[in-house]
């Protein structure tokens, strides 16, 4: 690819910015359009059929408007439900986001892994199939958080959230005797792209140290592989933030680090 590629990153809200950040670092030569489907946020409030009926035609409009070379579905809920439909409907390459259960179970020393996701993601058959196929004898605890994604959105938007509210969502991930490092949870899979926005605070609030697995770096590697060699230039422009509600993002410099230092239109 000789010209700078265009990558469209899609999420229900702001969580996909954590994926965007890694993709931009891997492919600084690309132009980026980030789409937050805030008009339908949170996806957990809608049925599976409603999400499919929403995202598939919406993606067709976005592809028509922005002509991306590749689309990243930076949302676990959308990926586990809609990715196969999108690939059947459109010829653009799609890269999805799914719970990193396989690498987590391969790396766990205590054989106790927790998967922290939205209530919809942890109950979905797709997630349970990953456990059946890749748990490798690990005890996998599924934790469906009702509020953590919304808490992350609020903090990124500049609204204070309490440690107590975060800890209430986080606590069920920690299974076993806190005093026995060999028989307690040692890995937590972040199965929602919003959650790394709160990672620093979660690390401080955790009752004991664990490894947190964020899928974003692996997604970025996959994107780069699909795009092929860099075009040789670093794009300084081409950073656009779109809300499906048509509101102005109003986040200013907050967004700049996620877009690799570029000013965001």
Three-state helix/strand/coil letters over the chain: CCCCCEEEEEECCCCCHHHHHHHHHHCCCCEEEEEECHHHCCHHHCCHHHHHHHHHHHHHHHHHHHCCCEEEECCHHHHHHHHHHHHHHCCCCEECCCCCHHHHHHHCCCCEEEEEEEHHHHHCHHHHHHHHHHCCCCEEEEEEECCHHHHHHHHHCCCCCCHHHHHHHHHHHCCECCCCCCCECCEEEEECCCHHHHHHHHHHHCCCCCEEECCHHHHHHHHHHHHCCCCCCCCCCCEEEEECCCCCCCCHHHCHHHHCCCCCC
8 Å CB contact between 6 and 238: yes
CA dist 30 to 9, 70, 73, 197, Å?
12, 10, 17, 23
- The residue annotated as part of the active site, out of 75, 105, 138, 173, is 75
Q: Is 75 a catalytic residue?
A: yes
Q: Is 192 a catalytic residue?
A: yes
- The residue annotated as part of the active site, out of 105, 138, 192, 231, is 192
Burial of 133 (0-12, 13-18, 19+ CB in 10 A): exposed
Hey, which residues are catalytic here?
75, 192
């Amino acid at each position: 690819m000789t010209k700078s590629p265009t990558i469209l990153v899609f999420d229900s809200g702001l969580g996909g910015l954590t994926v965007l950040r890694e993709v931009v670092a891997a492919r600084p030569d690309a132009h980026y359009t980030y789409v937050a489907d805030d008009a339908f946020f949170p996806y957990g409030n809608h049925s599976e059929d409603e999400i499919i009926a929403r995202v598939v035609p919406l993606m067709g409009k976005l592809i028509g408007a922005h002509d991306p070379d590749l689309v990243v579905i930076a949302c676990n809920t959308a990926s586990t439900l809609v990715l196969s439909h999108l690939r059947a409907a459109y010829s653009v390459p799609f890269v999805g986001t799914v719970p990193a259960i396989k690498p987590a179970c391969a790396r766990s020393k205590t054989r106790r892994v927790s998967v922290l996701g939205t209530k919809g993601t942890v109950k979905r058959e797709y997630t349970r199939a990953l456990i059946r196929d890749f748990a490798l004898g690990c005890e996998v605890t599924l934790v469906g958080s009702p509020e953590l994604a919304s808490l992350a959105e609020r903090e990124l938007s500049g609204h204070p959230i309490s440690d107590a509210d975060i800890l209430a969502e986080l606590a069920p991930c920690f299974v076993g005797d806190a005093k026995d490092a060999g028989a307690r949870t040692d890995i937590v899979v972040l199965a929602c792209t919003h959650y790394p926005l709160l990672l620093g605070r979660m690390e401080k609030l955790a009752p004991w140290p664990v490894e947190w697995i964020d899928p974003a770096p692996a997604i970025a590697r996959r994107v780069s592989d699909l795009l092929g060699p860099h075009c040789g230039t670093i794009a300084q422009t081409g950073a656009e933030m779109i809300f499906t509600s048509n509101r102005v993002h109003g986040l200013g410099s907050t967004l700049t680090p996620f877009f690799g230092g570029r000013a965001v239109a």
